[in-house]
Structure 1
């Protein structure tokens, strides 16, 4: 134990039987003198551990001092490489604050170590090297809640994240497409996305031969927002008895009918009998979901147009507006029948990103956030807590 502290100090002497190599050229050279350097390593029995290593100092032909390179410590670093890997492994599952408290290291130091380690080890996202892309998914994800969005692009065949960039404008996605080779762009047959206009414009400009597929989840999500608004409207305008009936029923209206148990089905039936507008909207929701079961593009277009006519015949303003918006986008919606594409893999990645964002309580360093997003798409194939790195 080191005097006056609870940390372990390991002193290592250099094996002088081995020649010294000049760090820049790798040529054998003579030793000017030896220096000692202390670096922090993995904890030992719960105690911080510091290693004091002896290194040879040489001089080049211009008289400049050079310290020999080591495999286990980066140049100028105060931490061993395996300790940096250990910290990055903890940061994958814990907040920076928790890792800082656990190891007794400053918050900024933990973040910088994790950032540098990820930058040096994560595979690069280089669009110019991509090939054989057929189906891709595009979506936006918030860096903080409702603030600073990032654009993510996934290969829907392999499920891998292939690009991430700050911003969600059309120019951001166009910059990705410009980095692809002409052959790769021509090979993309379909792009799955939400119904936002910027991404549509980028795809139509850069991939004129690719089909846009509007994600089923986003189409139904917009319909669920319609249900929420109509229920809130019914609650505001209803009597005390009607309000009592509406309390706690939102999940019944949004949940698929086959997932309801008997008690929930009975309560939903009572609600729909008492409110005609909600009954119509709920029944149309069930019919809308069935559209994606159509076997081909033509039949799906017919089913969608029939549903929109039925929705407009109800004279419910919100339903009429939704039907008009759906008709304007029917090609993108019905392209699902051609490719059977959804953004499910993208949404799964967004869930991981959301957990990352909540764990960090917001990330101010955009470059670091991009690295963490890339990390969520890379499987943890080896133990980062007990890395197989040896001191030599």
Structure 2
């Protein structure tokens, strides 16, 4: 067993001298082989001299025979010529300051992408905080090792992290559908910090940005990317339109009484769904609404007419269509539709940019759902720092540290 442990942990200058067994634990005592050279824990270069030893330290390793495996060793202090100081030797089975082996850390990191951290901690019989620290170290290393490619099209979106309008800002590479950066809150300063982190040289390659109509985001993009085209996300705009139609429906329910009110009640999804997705029963319900000639019908027709905008490919015709639609909406005598028309008018440039670039954050909704799943799967996180680390670990496709490199 001693030889097996030595080979598994890739020891070259150390060996397992003896093993103590208890009902739940295997304790392997490690010693240095003769006078073999040891490496500096800082620069990892071999050191010719030693300068005493430290006190005994313990490291947790992967379990064997359903029992926890612990390594016990007294590291040497080495005289490093390159660092010009006395440092603790680099042990091949663990990173400096870590109390778990590299192999256990890699197993924890891989499983933490699939399960919540509490289940991972129970599986390996370690503390939850140990799992959090391992994931943080793996994420920090992955961010350093991540291969950078020029960014041309980015998407900015936010996800709720807590009740009370607490948000995280997420920045994606829309060409590769990859998470790039996470920031706390959704203020202008949040996106400013992303552009500063990215640095001006990388910012110059960005040609277009897609985001919702949140003013702080647009202001930050205009300040740091003056030459980039800002495109307002199609799906956020449609959501505002559907909210306006639904508000008209609520007003009609409050206004009507008797049989007319019964016809309107329960028609929310009938009005918000696309016509080709309606069931036969929903089509009948929509037909009954049109016969009443209510204000709600005008709102529904405005909603369906607006959807034709997304088919235009030339800006001139799209703008002419949009101005005509805005005139109809503002003269519809429907307050929610007028409010939506004002929103469109004040963001015309970003909306019309869709006709030429045709980019949206719609493809990222799956990634946003994945981000939300990280929190739901863990039933929340104790700190925002751990939540951000978990999102990076699961959604950013970061490279894991290589075992061979980590064990050198």
Shared fold (TM-score, shorter chain, > 0.5) = yes
2:344 is aligned with 1:321: no
**CA distance in structure 1 between the aligned counterparts of 2:124 and 2:115, rounded to whole angstroms:** 12
Q: Could you tell me which of 140, 152, 166 is aligned with 1:134? A: 152
Aligned to 1:169: 187
The answer to whether the 8 A contact 2:40-2:78 is kept is: no
- Residues 1:231 and 1:70: Cα distance change in structure 2 (over 3 Å): same
- Residues 1:178 and 1:36: Cα distance change in structure 2 (over 3 Å): closer
Moved more, 66-75 or 81-90: 66-75
TM score, norm. by length of structure 1: 0.83
The answer to whether the 8 A contact 2:392-2:398 is kept is: no
Structure 2 matches for 1:224-373, cutoff 5 A? 224-239=242-257, 241-274=259-292, 276-373=294-391
Moved more, 272-281 or 215-224: 272-281
- Residues 1:36 and 1:300: Cα distance change in structure 2 (over 3 Å): same
Q: Could you tell me which of 92, 108, 119 is aligned with 2:129? A: 108
Instruction: Tell me how many residue pairs correspond in the alignment.
Output: 382
Moved more, 183-192 or 240-249: 240-249
Deviation readout 1:31-62 (Å, 9 max, x if unpaired): 957976542222345x242133445535659x
**CA distance in structure 1 between the aligned counterparts of 2:407 and 2:189, rounded to whole angstroms:** 48
**CA distance in structure 2 between the aligned counterparts of 1:380 and 1:134, rounded to whole angstroms:** 20
Moved more, 327-336 or 165-174: 165-174
- Residues 1:95 and 1:246: Cα distance change in structure 2 (over 3 Å): farther
Moved more, 214-223 or 82-91: 82-91
**CA distance in structure 2 between the aligned counterparts of 1:13 and 1:178, rounded to whole angstroms:** 47
2:69 is aligned with 1:57: no
Deviation readout 1:138-191 (Å, 9 max, x if unpaired): 122222244432222222222222322223222322333345555544443321
**CA distance in structure 2 between the aligned counterparts of 1:177 and 1:65, rounded to whole angstroms:** 41
Aligned to 1:69: 90
**CA distance in structure 2 between the aligned counterparts of 1:390 and 1:9, rounded to whole angstroms:** 24
- Residues 1:304 and 1:108: Cα distance change in structure 2 (over 3 Å): same
Moved more, 301-310 or 215-224: 301-310
The answer to whether the 8 A contact 2:21-2:27 is kept is: no
Deviation readout 1:178-221 (Å, 9 max, x if unpaired): 45555544443321111111111112222222221111001001
**CA distance in structure 1 between the aligned counterparts of 2:129 and 2:54, rounded to whole angstroms:** 32
Aligned to 2:233: 215
The answer to whether the 8 A contact 1:349-1:376 is kept is: no
- Residues 1:371 and 1:30: Cα distance change in structure 2 (over 3 Å): closer
Aligned to 1:91: 112
TM score, norm. by length of structure 2: 0.80
Aligned-residue CA RMSD in angstroms?
A: 3.4
- Residues 1:240 and 1:108: Cα distance change in structure 2 (over 3 Å): farther
Moved more, 159-168 or 221-230: 159-168
The answer to whether the 8 A contact 1:40-1:80 is kept is: yes
**CA distance in structure 2 between the aligned counterparts of 1:173 and 1:318, rounded to whole angstroms:** 31
Moved more, 177-186 or 330-339: 177-186
Deviation readout 1:297-351 (Å, 9 max, x if unpaired): 1111111111112222321111122112212212211110111111124433322
- Residues 1:185 and 1:11: Cα distance change in structure 2 (over 3 Å): closer
The answer to whether the 8 A contact 1:138-1:151 is kept is: yes
2:208 is aligned with 1:190: yes
2:161 is aligned with 1:143: yes
2:44 is aligned with 1:27: no
Partner of 1:93: helix, strand, or coil? Answer: coil
- Using the TM superposition, give the Cα deviation of residue 133 of structure 1 relative to its aligned residue in structure 2, in angstroms: 2.9
Aligned to 1:39: 59
The answer to whether the 8 A contact 2:61-2:71 is kept is: no
Structure 2 matches for 1:115-126, cutoff 5 A? 115-123=136-144
- Residues 1:185 and 1:112: Cα distance change in structure 2 (over 3 Å): closer
**CA distance in structure 2 between the aligned counterparts of 1:169 and 1:357, rounded to whole angstroms:** 22
Q: Which runs of 5+ in 1 are unaligned?
A: none
Partner of 2:276: helix, strand, or coil? Answer: helix
